[in-house]
């Protein structure tokens, strides 16, 4: 079932896309993505305006511009009429997004992704990984503060594993190393 989100729900769901703009390897997404229509599919949806909880379950697919999210379950919690928390769950939940014309797709996965709107904190929990252009950031718990642009992982964030980071060399990326000034002067 493919639906186009009505204007009243569009604002609520647009906040979801903010979650996916939080990649520690490249923190900016394409500017045009937020202006694109949102498409949401799920096997089942339950929207309870009384409690402020919306739950999308079963093969959930969320698309907006270059951002693509898949999850088994997506929960949106509103408090006082405003979105308070967004939770994506899966085995794992996955996202990908183009972050710039000259960059590869940024991809992420975790069994649980939480976005706390008021504190602007994003948590990737359990088997969390973010990759882009061959670089990778892995841990059982990754926290990203969207306001301060600080990424934390490991025991300081209640993780139980050591943080694993892979950064490819310029040679592996196909980027020529800049010539040293001293080499230019001796030639």
Taking a C-beta distance cutoff of 8 angstroms, is the pair 39, 65 a contact? no
Q: For residues 56 and 16, is the Cβ–Cβ distance under 8 A?
A: no
CATH of domain 2-186: 2.60.450.10
Q: Residue 147's pLDDT is what?
A: 74
In angstroms, the CA 118 to CA 127 distance is 25
- At residue 141, what are phi and psi to the nearest 5 degrees? -150, 120
**For the ranges 7-11, 39-43, 137-141, 173-177, which has the lowest average pLDDT?**
7-11
* pLDDT, the chain, mean: 76
Position with higher pLDDT, 179 vs 84: 84
More confident call, 154 vs 19: 154
Is 77's pLDDT higher than 70?
yes
How confident is the model at residue 177, as a pLDDT? Answer: 57
> Which comes out higher in pLDDT, residue 95 or 2?
95
How confident is residue 173, by pLDDT bands cut at 50, 70 and 90? low
Entry pTM: 0.69
């Amino acid at each position: 079932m493919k639906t186009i989100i009505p204007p009243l729900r569009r604002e609520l769901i647009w906040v979801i896309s903010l979650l996916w703009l939080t990649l520690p390897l490249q923190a900016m997404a394409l500017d045009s993505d937020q202006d694109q229509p949102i498409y949401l599919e799920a096997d089942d949806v339950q929207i309870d305006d009384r409690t402020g909880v919306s739950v999308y379950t079963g093969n959930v697919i969320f698309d907006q511009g270059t951002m693509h999210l898949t999850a088994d379950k997506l929960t949106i919690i509103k408090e006082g009429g405003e979105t308070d928390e967004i939770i994506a769950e899966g085995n794992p939940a996955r996202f990908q997004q183009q972050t710039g014309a000259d960059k590869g797709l940024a991809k992420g996965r975790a069994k649980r992704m939480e976005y706390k709107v008021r504190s602007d904190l994003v948590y990737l929990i359990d088997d969390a990984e973010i990759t882009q252009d061959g670089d990778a950031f892995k841990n059982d718990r990754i926290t990203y503060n969207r306001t301060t642009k600080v990424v934390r992982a490991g025991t300081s964030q209640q993780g139980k594993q050591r943080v694993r980071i892979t950064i490819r060399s310029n040679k592996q990326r196909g980027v020529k190393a800049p010539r040293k000034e001293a080499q230019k002067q001796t030639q």
